[in-house]
Amino acid sequence: MAKKKAEKPLVEPTNEKRVKLEPYTDDALGKKMTTNTGLPINDDQNSLKAGERGSSLLEDFILREKIMHFDHERIPERVVHARGSGAHGVFKLYKPMSEYTKAHFLNDTETETPVFVRFSTVAGSRGSTDLARDVRGFAVRFYTQEGNFDLVGNNMPVFFIQDAIKFPDLVHAVKPEPDNEIPQAASAHDTFWDFISLMPESAHMIMWLMSDRAIPRSYRMMEGFGVHTFRFVNAQGVASFVKFHWKPLLGVHSVAWDEAQNISGKDPDFHRRDLWDSIESGAFPEWELGVQIVPEEDEFKFDFDLLDSTKIIPEELVPVQRIGKLTLNRNPDNFFAETEQIAFHLGHIVPGIDFTNDPLLQGRLFSYTDTQLLRLGGPNFQQLPINKPVVPVYNNQRDGFSRQNIDSGKTSYSPNSLSANSPEQVRAEQGGYITYPERVEGRKIRARSRSFFDHFSQARLFFNSQSDPEKDHIVQAFSFELGKVKTISVRERMLGILSLVDKGLAAQVAVALGLHIPQPIEQPVNKSVPADGVPEEFEPLNVEGSIKKSAALSMANSPKDSIETRKIAILAADGVDERSVSKIKDAIEAEGGVVEIVSCHGGFITSLNDEQIKVDDTVLTTASVLFDAVYVPGGANSVASIEADADAVHFLNEAFKHCKPIAADISALQVLEATYFAKKIQSDEGVILSDDPASLAQSFIAAIRQHRFWERERARKIPA
């Protein structure tokens, strides 16, 4: 069913966080203008001057206040994940998880936990394109009754490096190069691939990054992953390992690389707009929270180390249990106050959840608070409205820049007798956080465990699990990215790494680059340590993993049962047959799709029966890359105008190139015949022609559910 536009009450009474934000939220509509001290302003457009043409007076406190505030509007953008979009929502648990965790929000199936989610790209600046080939951040804050819990994840389940100490190097390598600050929001340059080619542990992550997962169709169609192995602890103190997943109910879908590059020009806010629009229209994005749980005693059962963030636990080995649903149902009121000022941190934890010794996780525990101090200007950032928990906060911390709380009373120390020793510490039985008493012993060493040294088996598992079109896209992505690298030795070293993953993959990329795979292959070494010895150099292992293929890794296996929120363009002009327009429009909207009329001119078009149909966009102001499918209705004059309009024909050519479903009334055949894919009309599964609008609508909807017809690419000769 098409969803109705959501009513937007000021606050949802059931969302405790929204209720708590309300006193801070205000609108100037109908209000009088004042200075920041509340003085009514009489003239905000003329500065105070000495004489008619005279110089401005230093006395003008109104001018100074206004300009001073403007001068200080900017704060440092996030050093990574600068570009992002956020939304409010709720999390509802399906079943109590008491067997594994005592976390209140994972036991209470009655209440909806308020959440704020921020999606992001990693490498680009705040104003960069949404469609860069990049990892996407997927950071979720749960405002629970035991304080904030942040699950700061990504849309890929592994990471580039195994140890946090390498993170600054990784980020320096991928960011624009330091001499000329080129390229923006792109990994296709020398420094990135130089680093990667010297970092074999990145092989698995690089496969994900070169796959279509790095160019999602929408934030709403991405998976999310906590990446690290965390710990659940139940009320009896029994711990298990846990990996977190987010599974989108709309399935996992991507765009084509050529399309992504086009969207970056046509609408660099594509993902941000898509998230905003879908929430405004009431089509609320939804994900299920999944957990993979491993009992403590099974820690060493796998052929990889659970503490190694370059590894997944294949779903064949440990199934994902879906335990609750996240729904994003409200856009922020103010981007800066909410999306920009939210300060996520892995250390925002609740009883029942704990960390592991993953060295990447451990380093992050330091980084996130540290970075907020710079970004948000001091230690009181937790008192910003978006960061405040829904539960009260009491401790003996005081003062600092921009302190908001007025802490009354004489004592700010513990123990004290003057305030009856308040605030009181909380015993574990009453919900006080205790760290899981894991036994730890060993020597101090700067090295890695040998259990971290297989870098290739899961990279291969990922590649082997892809469908043929997905494999082709990976080959093309490597060919593109390495093709942009100027230093031949870097390209060659990378080919060497690829050949350790899959010889066929390496060979295809080598052909595209016009290079040979180097022999022997250089294996960058790292330090490891025998059980009781001094760290020594150690080469990566190249072993076969126990699992060769995993269905969950291919987007081809993602559910394709809905067209909800997909955007469909109807290419029409004056003289269009409005009966076919409304039949298709109604059928698509009934399934939750979104239809726009795209024409050769703006305003209205007049149909065969003299009806006025509103034009949403023209072939000049929009492009097929911003849609999921195209339909060309009948009506002789409309068909003739579309056929004669080069931009309209290009619209179809490009939609075909990007493997999208195309439908047309049989009477609009001549439009399709004007395209370069005229010869394919009969043979292509994703091109639907019919003189019966009802059956056309059904076949078209079935095709849109498929998302893309990638097999078209094989025989492609497309100039679009």
User: Which positions make up the binding site for heme?
Assistant: 78, 118, 167, 364, 368, 375
Contact 213, 555 (CB under 8 A): yes
Q: Looking at beta carbons only, is 144 or 309 nearer to ligand HDE?
A: 309
Closest CA to 311 of 227, 247, 246: 227
Distance (Å, whole) CA 242 – CA 237:
15
Per DSSP, the residues of 318-370 read: SPPEEEEEEEEEE--S-IIIIIIT----TT---TTEE----HHHHHHHHHHHH
For the chain, the helix, strand and coil percentages under 3-state DSSP, each to the nearest 5: 35, 15, 50
Amino acid letter, residue 8: K
Q: Which residue of this chain has its Cβ atom nearest to ligand HDE in the complex?
A: 137
Q: Looking at beta carbons only, is 360 or 498 nearer to ligand HDE?
A: 360
Q: How far is the CB of 346 from ligand HDE (least distance, A)?
A: 8
Which of the 8 DSSP states describes residue 31? Answer: P
Q: How far is the CB of 312 from ligand HDE (least distance, A)?
A: 13
Q: Looking at beta carbons only, is 103 or 164 nearer to ligand HDE?
A: 164
Q: How far is the CB of 424 from ligand HDE (least distance, A)?
A: 32
Q: How far is the CB of 268 from ligand HDE (least distance, A)?
A: 18
Q: Which residues participate in the annotated binding site? A: 78, 118, 167, 364, 368, 375
Contact 133, 112 (CB under 8 A): no
Contact 613, 572 (CB under 8 A): yes
| Lookup: tokens for 545 | 């993993």
Q: What stretches of 40-93 show up as alpha helix (H) in DSSP?
A: 61-71
Binding site for ligand HDE (CB under 6 A): 78-81, 84, 118, 120, 137, 139, 152-154, 159, 164, 167, 227, 309, 344, 360, 363-364, 367-368, 371
Q: Looking at beta carbons only, is 152 or 326 nearer to ligand HDE?
A: 152
First CA to last CA distance, the chain: 35
Q: How far is the CB of 364 from ligand HDE (least distance, A)?
A: 4
Q: Looking at beta carbons only, is 80 or 701 nearer to ligand HDE?
A: 80
Q: How far is the CB of 74 from ligand HDE (least distance, A)?
A: 16
Contact 120, 131 (CB under 8 A): no
Instruction: Write b or e for each residue in 601-631: b if 16 or more Cβ atoms lie within 10 A of its Cβ, otherwise e.
Output: eeeebbbbeeeebebbbbbeebbbbbbbbbb
Q: Which of 148, 154, 155, 329 is catalytic?
A: 154
Report the SS3 class of residue 502: coil
Rounded to the nearest 10 degrees, the angle between the axes of helix 257-266 and helix 468-483 is 60
Q: Looking at beta carbons only, is 167 or 287 nearer to ligand HDE?
A: 167
Per DSSP, the residues of 8-27 read: --SS-TT-HHHHHHGGG---
| Lookup: tokens for 337 | 């106050």
Q: What stretches of 242-308 show up as alpha helix (H) in DSSP?
A: 257-266, 270-280
Q: What's the per-residue H, E or C state across 163-189?
A: CHHHHHHHHHHHCCCCCCCCCCCCCCC
Q: How far is the CB of 154 from ligand HDE (least distance, A)?
A: 4
Q: Which residues make Cβ contacts (< 8 Å) with residue 349, sequence separation at least 6?
A: 149, 355, 433
Q: Which of 15, 81, 148, 707 is catalytic?
A: 81
Contact 133, 215 (CB under 8 A): yes
Q: How far is the CB of 387 from ligand HDE (least distance, A)?
A: 11
245 annotated active-site: no
Q: Looking at beta carbons only, is 163 or 665 nearer to ligand HDE?
A: 163
36 annotated active-site: no
Q: Looking at beta carbons only, is 77 or 108 nearer to ligand HDE?
A: 77
Catalytic residue numbers? 81, 154
